Amino acid sequence: MNERSPTLIPDTGRGNQAAILNAALEAFGEKGFYGASMRDVARGAGTSLSNLYNYFPAKADLLAALLRMANDELLSRIQAAVDGAGRRASDRLRAAVVAHVGFVVDHQVASLVALSEIRYLTGVARKRVVAARDSTQGLYEEIVAAGSASGEFATPYPDDAARNIVSMCAAIATWYHPGGRLTPEQLAGQHAHYALALLQGPL
Amino acid sequence: MNERSPTLIPDTGRGNQAAILNAALEAFGEKGFYGASMRDVARGAGTSLSNLYNYFPAKADLLAALLRMANDELLSRIQAAVDGAGRRASDRLRAAVVAHVGFVVDHQVASLVALSEIRYLTGVARKRVVAARDSTQGLYEEIVAAGSASGEFATPYPDDAARNIVSMCAAIATWYHPGGRLTPEQLAGQHAHYALALLQGPL
Amino acid sequence: MNERSPTLIPDTGRGNQAAILNAALEAFGEKGFYGASMRDVARGAGTSLSNLYNYFPAKADLLAALLRMANDELLSRIQAAVDGAGRRASDRLRAAVVAHVGFVVDHQVASLVALSEIRYLTGVARKRVVAARDSTQGLYEEIVAAGSASGEFATPYPDDAARNIVSMCAAIATWYHPGGRLTPEQLAGQHAHYALALLQGPL
Amino acid sequence: MNERSPTLIPDTGRGNQAAILNAALEAFGEKGFYGASMRDVARGAGTSLSNLYNYFPAKADLLAALLRMANDELLSRIQAAVDGAGRRASDRLRAAVVAHVGFVVDHQVASLVALSEIRYLTGVARKRVVAARDSTQGLYEEIVAAGSASGEFATPYPDDAARNIVSMCAAIATWYHPGGRLTPEQLAGQHAHYALALLQGPL
DNA sequence: AATGAATGAGGATTCATTCAT
DNA sequence: CATGAATGAATCCTCATTCAT
C-alpha cells in the first residue's frame, strides 16, 4: 500500500468487504478459483463462512468483483498515463507500457488471477471483464494506429503488434519476483523498449 | 492427426490409454484441472470412472503425463528445427519460432493447458515439467547469446528478450482460432519477425 | 441411562454431538470400524452425512473420542471404587473388579469396541488411549504389589496376574447377555473371586 | 516353521493356495478383515488379483478357511495333549493349557485373527467356526467337570471357570512378543498355574 | 491356473450454499 | 451484520468382483 500501489481494493467502510476481497484474491492466486474454497476465503478474511454471503451472493461474484477492479484500475492507470504524455505516439506508447508494467508489479497477484481465472467467469460478468480487457488493448491499438499514420511506426501488422505488447506486459505477472535482478523501473523501461521494437518495419 | 500434427499422445497399444489422455486434455482444456472431474474424463474416454485408475493412479498423474508429453514434443520440435537450420543465429531463431508457433497451433489445447495448469502439479512431477520448460527457454537463450556474440543481434538484455519471445509464442494459445485472419504459416512468419525485432539494439 | 449406567457420552449441549457419538458407538459395535460407514453413523444419528463433519473432522476422530470416553470412565470408576475401599489389598482388589465388571456390563458395546477397534487408531490418538489402558492395568498392579508386600497375596508373578485379571474382566464384553444366567452382581462377585484366586501362591 | 510350529496352512500342492492363505493371514492380521483389501492379499501372495478368485470365490471364504484351519489345529493340539496326559484332571488340564498356549505362541497372528475377525463371518461359515470354538471350550468344561466330580477341583462355577481359562489363553495373542521376558514354556507353565488357581474353592 | 481390463457400488471427505437466530 | 448448524450434490478414489483371453 505504498505510493506506487494505490490500493486495488477500496475500503468501502462496509466492515469486512475489503478483507474478504483481499482474502479471495490471495486464495484464488494461490490455489486457483476452483482450488480455493469459500472456507479458505473466510479463514483468510477472519470471518465466518456464512458471513461471506452477506457481501457476495456467490463465489463467482467474488471473482467477478476482483477482476473488475483489477481491469478498471489497469485501464485507468494506462489511460491517465497516456493522457499525461505528449503528442508523439512513441511517447504515448512508452507511457502506456510503463504504467502497465507498474500495475503488474504493484498488483502481481491480481494480474495473475486476471490472466488465468477469467475463464471461470460466465455470463454478464464475463462479458464485462472481457470488454474491459478489450478496452485496454484498444488503447494500445489506437496509439499504434496513430503512430503508423504519422509514420513513427512501420509495423505491417499494427493490431497484432498491439496484442503482443499486451501479452508481454501481462506475462510479467507469471515470473516476476520482487527484489529480483531488475527494479520495477528498469523492467518498465525494458518493456517500453520491446514495445517500440515490435513496431519496427521489416528488418 | 495430419502431417502438421504428429500425434501428441502416443498410441501405446494399451487400448484406452490414449483415449483417456485425449479426454483428459479436452476436459482440462475446457474446465481446468480442478473444474474438470474424473467423471468428465471417463465420459470423454468412453470408459468407466473406476477404469481410469487402472491407467493413472491419480488425477494429478493425468495432468503430469499430459504436460510431460506436451513439453517433450515442443522441445523436440524446436530442437529439430534448430538443428536443421543454418549457421546464422537469425536463421536458427526464425526456425525455432516457426516450429514453436507450429506446435502451439497444432496443439492449441495442450499448449493452453501447459500454460495454465502447470500450477496444479506438485513435487517431482512439477519439477520435471518446469525443467522441460526451462530447457525450451534455454534453447532460445543459446541462440540469442550466439547471435549477440556474432554481432547479429544487438539487444542489451539477451535473456529477457528470449523470455519475451517464449511468452509471445505461448500466448498465441490463448486467442488463436483456426480459420482466423492469419494462416498458421503467416502467424509463424509474423512471430519470427517479432522475435527478431525484439533483438534490436537501442532504437 | 439408569443409575447403574451414568451416561458414557456427555450431553454437551451441542445438539447432535451426543447423538452422533451414540450412533457411532452402535455402528462400530455392530460392524466394526471399517465395516461401518459414515453414512451408517449419520443415519443412526438422524442427521446428514455432511453434518457429521461439523462435529468430527474425520471418522477416526469419532473412534478416538469414543475410546477416550470409555477408558476415562472405566478408569475413574475403578479409581473411585478403590479409593472408597478399605486398607486391605484384597478389599481394594475386590472393589476394583466389581467396578470393572460393572462398567463392562453397563457399557458392553463400548467395552467391546474399546477392546477390538483400538487397533484402528493411529498416532497421538492411539497413544493416548493406550496410555489410559495402561493406567487401568497399573491400578491393578499397584494393588497386587501392595498385597504381595503385605503378605496377603502370594502369587509369584504379580504383574502377569494383574494382566490376566484385566483380560478376564474385558472378555466379559465378548459374551455377556443381559438377562443371562448370572445377574451383573453375581458376575462381579464371581470375577472378584477369580481375581483373588489368581493371586494364590503355588498350589 | 520350526518344530514347535507345524505349519498351520497345508501345502496343498495346488500352487499358490498356501501362499494366498498366508498372505491373507498376514493382511487380515495387520489391517483387519475390512481394512485389508483383496489387492493387499494378491500383492502379498505374489499373484494377480483375479487369480485369487480361482482359489477362493469370495473374500469371506478366505477368512473362513483361515479360521477353520486355526480352530481345527488348536482343537486337535489340545485334544492330543489331553489324550496323552494321565488320568488326573489336574494333569489333563495342565496339558490342555500348555498345548493351548503353545498354539497361541506358535500362531499368534492366526490366534489374533480368530479372536477378532470371527465377527465378520456369516452364515454357515460362522456357525462352523463357532462350533469349533465351542468344542474347544467343551474340552475344558469336561476336564473341569471331571475334576469337580473327583474332588480335585472345588470351584463353585465350573463352566464359568472354563470360559475364563480360555479367555486368558486367547488373550495372550493380544500382547505376546517373541523374545519377551518369558519363554513360551514359562508362559505355558504360568498359565497352567492360573488355570488351576481358578478352580479353587472359596478362599 | 493365470491375467489384465473392466465395472458398479460405495468409501470418506469437501463443496457452495441456505437458514434460523 | 454476523454466526453455527445444516444439507445435497459432488469430489477423488477404492472396493470386491467379473470376464474375455
CATH, residue D172: 1.10.357.10
Chains that touch D (3 or more CB pairs under 8 A): C
With 50 as the cut, is the pLDDT of residue C1 above it? no
| Structural domain contains residue B65 | yes
CA dihedral C164, C170, C172, C176 (to 10 degrees): -170
Going by beta carbons, is chain B in contact with chain D, meaning 3 or more pairs sit under 8 Å apart? no
Domain residues for the domain of B163 are 60-198
Runs of H (alpha helix) within chain B: 17-31, 38-45, 49-55, 59-84, 89-106, 108-116, 123-150, 158-171, 184-198
**Which residue in D34, D59, D111, D152 has the most chain C C-beta atoms within 10 A of its own C-beta, making it the best mutation to test that interface?**
D34
| Structural domain contains residue C87 | yes
With 50 as the cut, is the pLDDT of residue C124 above it? yes
Rounded CA–C1' distance between C24 and F1, in angstroms: 37
Closest partner CB to B190 (pick from A33, A34, A157): A157
Q: Which three cell numbers stand for residue D121?
A: 463371518
pLDDT at A5: 58
| Structural domain contains residue C95 | yes
User: H or E segment at D106?
Assistant: helix D89-106
C-alpha span between B176 and C127 (Å, rounded):
60
In a shared domain, residues B68 and B104: yes
Rounded CA–C1' distance between A54 and E11, in angstroms: 35
Chain D residues close to C28, C-beta within 8 Å: none
Q: Per the CB < 8 Å rule, is D197 touching C175?
A: no
CA dihedral B57, B59, B62, B65 (to 10 degrees): -80
**How sure is the predictor about D75, in pLDDT bands with cuts at 50, 70 and 90?**
very high
In three-state secondary structure terms, A45 is: helix
| Structural domain contains residue C8 | no
| Structural domain contains residue A4 | no
pLDDT at C45: 96
Q: Could you give the number of structural domains in chain B?
A: 2
C-alpha span between D127 and D120 (Å, rounded):
12
Contact present, B22 and B9 (Cβ < 8 Å): yes
Residue with minimal CA–C1' distance to E17 is: A58
In a shared domain, residues B53 and B64: no
| Chain segment D87-119, per-residue pLDDT in tens | 999 999 999 999 999 999 999 999 999 999 999
Rounded CA–C1' distance between D68 and E10, in angstroms: 30
Rounded CA–C1' distance between C125 and F5, in angstroms: 27
**How sure is the predictor about B5, in pLDDT bands with cuts at 50, 70 and 90?**
low
Interface of D with C (CB under 8 A): 32-35, 116, 119-120, 157, 160-161, 163-164, 167-168, 170-171, 175, 182, 190, 193-194, 196-198, 200, 202-203
| Structural domain contains residue C186 | yes
With 50 as the cut, is the pLDDT of residue A2 above it? no
Distances in Å between the alpha carbon of A180 and those of A152, A183, A184?
A: 34, 7, 9
Average pLDDT over chain C, rounded to whole? 94
| Structural domain contains residue A14 | no
Chain D residues close to C190, C-beta within 8 Å: 157, 160
Chain A residues close to B120, C-beta within 8 Å: 32, 35
C-alpha span between D103 and D95 (Å, rounded):
12
Chain F: bases < 7 Å from a protein Cβ: 1-20
In a shared domain, residues B158 and B190: yes
| Chain segment A100-145, per-residue pLDDT in tens | 999 999 999 999 999 999 999 999 999 999 999 999 999 999 999 9
pLDDT at A10: 83
Chain A residues close to B35, C-beta within 8 Å: 34, 120
Q: Which three cell numbers stand for residue B25?
A: 486434455
| Chain segment C133-173, per-residue pLDDT in tens | 999 999 999 999 999 999 999 998 899 999 999 999 999 99
In a shared domain, residues B32 and B87: no
Q: Determine the average pLDDT of the residues in B79-106.
A: 97
Among candidate residues A65, A51, A49, A54, the one with its CA nearest the CA of residue A9: A65
The residue of chain D with its CA nearest to that of C201 is D197
Interface of A with B (CB under 8 A): 32-35, 116, 119-120, 157, 160-161, 163-164, 167-168, 170-171, 175, 182, 190, 193-194, 196-198, 200, 202-203
Contact present, D137 and D166 (Cβ < 8 Å): yes
Q: Per the CB < 8 Å rule, is A197 touching B198?
A: yes
Q: Per the CB < 8 Å rule, is D167 touching C163?
A: no
In a shared domain, residues B115 and B158: yes
Q: Which of A64-73, A88-97, B3-12, D48-57 comes out lowest in average pLDDT?
A: B3-12
Q: Per the CB < 8 Å rule, is C197 touching D202?
A: no
> Which residues, including other chains, have CB under 8 Å from residue C23's CB and lie 6 or more apart?
C40, C41, C42, C43, C44, C45, C46
**How sure is the predictor about B2, in pLDDT bands with cuts at 50, 70 and 90?**
very low
pLDDT at A202: 83
| Structural domain contains residue A19 | no
CATH number at residue B19: 1.10.10.60
Chain A residues close to B164, C-beta within 8 Å: 168, 171, 194
Give, as one character, the DSSP assignment of residue C26: H
Which nucleotide, over all strands, has the C1' atom closest to the CA of D37?
Answer: F15
In a shared domain, residues B27 and B108: no
pLDDT at B15: 64
Chain E: bases < 7 Å from a protein Cβ: 1-20
Q: How many CA atoms lie within 13 A of A143 on its CB side?
A: 31
CA-derived radius of gyration, chain A? 18
Please tell me the distance in Å from C48's CA to the nearest CA on chain D. 24
Distances in Å between the alpha carbon of A83 and those of A7, A21, A152, D193?
A: 21, 30, 19, 102
With 50 as the cut, is the pLDDT of residue B1 above it? no
Rounded CA–C1' distance between A47 and F5, in angstroms: 16
Closest partner CB to D197 (pick from C33, C35, C198): C198
**How sure is the predictor about D2, in pLDDT bands with cuts at 50, 70 and 90?**
very low
| Chain segment B123-144, per-residue pLDDT in tens | 999 999 999 999 999 999 999 9
The residue of chain D with its CA nearest to that of C165 is D168
C-alpha span between D11 and A57 (Å, rounded):
68
pLDDT at A1: 40
